[in-house]
Each structure stands twice: as C-alpha cells, then as structure tokens.
Amino acid sequence: MSTSGYWKTASRLTQIGVGKDEATGAISYPIYPSATYRHPAVGESTGFDYTRSGNPTRQVLEDSLAELEGGARACVFSSGMAALTTLFLHFRAGDHLIVSQDLYGGTYRILTEIFDKLGLRASYVDTTDTAAVIAVIKPESRALLVETPGNPLLGIADLVALGEACREHKLLFVVDNTFLTPVLQRPFDFGADVVVHSATKYLGGHNDLCAGVLVARDEALGERLYFLQNSTGGILSPQDCWLLMRSLKTLPLRLERHCANALKVAQWLCLHPRVSSVYYPGLHDHPGHALSQRQANGFGGMLSFRVDSETTACRVLKRLKLISFAESLGGVESLMTLPAVQTHGDIPEPERLRLGICERLLRFSVGIEDVDDIIADLDQALE
C-alpha cells in the first residue's frame, strides 16, 4: 500500500480498510467487538490489550481520518460533543478560550454548564472579524475554536489570518470542520493545530450513527489527545467505527451532490417572496463568498434562510413532506431545523437574538434527493 501516499482523496476514501485484514484479505475490514485481548505472555502484547485503549477496527478508521485531514493522529469518540469534551479536558482551570459566536448550541452549553465550573473560561466573538478575535486575547488565553462556515448563519472566518494570529499569540488553533469535511476544506493547510468533527454529520452522512473526531497536526499533541481519550473513555464503539468507515467511501460523491443541490435551492429561495434573506456562502452576495472560494473547494450543503414571519416558519415545518423537520444535518436525507428552539435553544434569548437567531430563521441541510423534488416540497410548504 506504499503508493497510497500519491492517491487523490477519492481513491483514499474508497480504499479505506482494503488490504488491512491480512488474515483473510476481506475487502470490508471486520468488526472486532472484543473488549479485551489475550496476551501471549507477561509483558507481551499483540498491540491490543483492552478496547478502550485500542481496537483494530477503530485503528483503521483513526489512521484513515488522520491521513485524510493530513494530521499526525486521529481519535474517534461516541459523539461530536464527546470529542469536544475530551479536547476541553486538555486545558486547565484558569485557562481562557476564544470561541466563534456563530457556533453549535451544544458547544456553548458544555462550556457554560460544565467547563465553566471546572475553571475554563470562554469569550464568544465574531470570528469572521479577525481584529475582533485579536482584541479579546488575554494573557491566559490558550486556544481559539472556530467553526467555519458558522452555524447557523454560515459566516466565513479567514483561516489564514486566524492561523497567523494564533501563531503570533501562541494560541492552539482549533477548527471545527464539520460543515465542510476535509474533502472541501483542509484546516491544517492554514495552520490549524487540531481539527474537530461531529462525524454524525457529513462524515457519517446517513443519520444512523453519532460520532466525533479529533485530529492533531503533530505527534506530541496527538499523544496527549490519545492519553485523554483512553483516560476518559468516551470512545466510539467498533460497530459504529465500521459504519463510519463505510460512510467515508461515498463522502466525495455525496458532498458533490449536497453542494450542487444547496446552490440551486439557495438561488431558488432568493427569488421567493416569503423569504427575506438567504445565507449560503455559494451566493455571490454572501459576504464570505470570495474568502470561501480561496480556502475551500466547495460551499457545502448547509444553508439558512429567514422567512417573513414566525407563523410562516411554523407552517413550513408543519407542511414539509419530503424534507424532515429534525435536528442534525449532513445526512443524505434533507432535514430542516428551527435553530432558535432546537440546535441553539440553550443560548440565552437576548444573546440568540443579538446573533440573529430568531424564530423566523430556518436552517436547511440539503440532502441528495433530486433537487426538483426538494424545491417542489419547499414551494408547497411556503405557499
């Protein structure tokens, strides 16, 4: 498999696990449910002792994810939040984090409810404004956590500029790459130290598993994250590791269709009389459009739009037929969410409204169904 270093991403993804099972040559790598492993003798090990510490199925997945992002080591977890929990345990009481204000509500919740009482403080800033980020850096700041595109308003942060700021101020640069995946955006190319994923979303892609990923750029930090993964135990089970590997094989194909469908839907929504604004980085008038073109190979499958009234928003959610009204995103099936109530319900109302997350705002994870059917469903729901 020594030629794999030259393969393009699509080939690497298709070939995940192939050739790894030397015992049988199985193309699909086996699921190892075993909790523990027989030792050949005292002080000897097959490389696997106990599944929390290491599992063959998880190993193949983690190696593939590290290679895909271009990092030294990846660790997988039982959810995106379990990945972030583990990352936050890397810091100490008294440390300070700078975090995108346009971020997933669950990240906000864990910082305010769990890590605040453990002494970890956070400032929430508009990370599309690099100067605003630099302005909140304090002596005890340790890391910058950026989601780009943002959630749910799809703001684009300048990864090059933020990477430079982090280097200058000795901050760990953490990028949540859930929305675009390494197929469309490679944060390590811009100086990121850690990449985070909720793999429940595009990486998994079928709304049938919860998983999280941390990838470290260098070996030392990778070793530290592995120590925390093993010590805290929020690992991904072997069955779900296998499902995730299976999902990754179709990731480039799925993303291609997600992007194409999202652009068409965004353009259609722009022309609808009941829609007051559309947030999609692929639209020419999106403020982050040019920046997005520079740092990513696509605009992704996520968009948000604001309708004329809260009544319209409720009616749309009730009348959708093909599109499901459900939390989550990134699956082959189209899902629509009301962020103010669901994904961002844990952010206090005044703060939420200041960010523009009102009850007229709908977030849409555009699936890979035929785009004409998606638009027809939106059309009847908005009527």
- Tokens representing 280 are 């999609």
Would you tell me how many other CB atoms lie within 10 Å of the CB of residue 231?
11
Catalytic residue among 52, 109, 142, 274: 52
Q: Identify whether the C-beta of residue 324 lies closer than 8 Å to the C-beta of residue 85.
A: no
Whether the CA torsion 298, 225, 130, 108 is positive or negative: it is positive
Catalytic residue among 32, 104, 124, 202: 104
Would you tell me how many other CB atoms lie within 10 Å of the CB of residue 311?
11
Q: Which residues bind other proteins (CB under 8 A)?
A: 33-39, 41-43, 49-52, 77-85, 89, 91-94, 106, 109-110, 113-114, 117-120, 200, 204, 207-210, 212, 227-228, 231-237, 239-240, 243, 314, 317-318, 324-328, 331, 335, 342
Catalytic residue among 20, 58, 73, 201: 201
Query: Can you tell me the distance from the alpha carbon of 92 to that of 109, in angstroms, rounded to the nearest whole number?
Result: 19
Nearer to other proteins, 129 or 208 (CB): 208
Q: Is 32 a catalytic residue?
A: no
Q: Is 201 a catalytic residue?
A: yes
In whole angstroms, the minimum distance from the beta carbon of 38 to other proteins comes to: 5
Q: Which of 71, 32, 47, 20 is nearest to 235 (CA)?
A: 32
Q: Is 186 a catalytic residue?
A: no
Nearer to other proteins, 34 or 250 (CB): 34
In whole angstroms, the minimum distance from the beta carbon of 321 to other proteins comes to: 11
Nearer to other proteins, 87 or 278 (CB): 87
Q: Is 226 a catalytic residue?
A: no
In whole angstroms, the minimum distance from the beta carbon of 381 to other proteins comes to: 11
Nearer to other proteins, 81 or 172 (CB): 81
**Residue 61 identity:** L
Query: Can you tell me the distance from the alpha carbon of 173 to that of 159, in angstroms, rounded to the nearest whole number?
Result: 10
Q: Which helix (H) or strand (E) holds 214?
A: strand 212-216
Whether the CA torsion 148, 150, 153, 156 is positive or negative: it is negative
Catalytic residue among 95, 102, 158, 176: 176
Query: Can you tell me the distance from the alpha carbon of 379 to that of 372, in angstroms, rounded to the nearest whole number?
Result: 10
Q: Identify whether the C-beta of residue 105 lies closer than 8 Å to the C-beta of residue 345.
A: yes
Nearer to other proteins, 114 or 135 (CB): 114
In whole angstroms, the minimum distance from the beta carbon of 309 to other proteins comes to: 15
Nearer to other proteins, 127 or 237 (CB): 237
CA–CA distance from 255 to each of 69, 127, 278 (Å)? 16, 25, 20
Sheet strands (E) in 78-204: 96-100, 121-125, 141-147, 172-176, 194-198
Which residues are tagged catalytic?
A: 52, 104, 176, 201
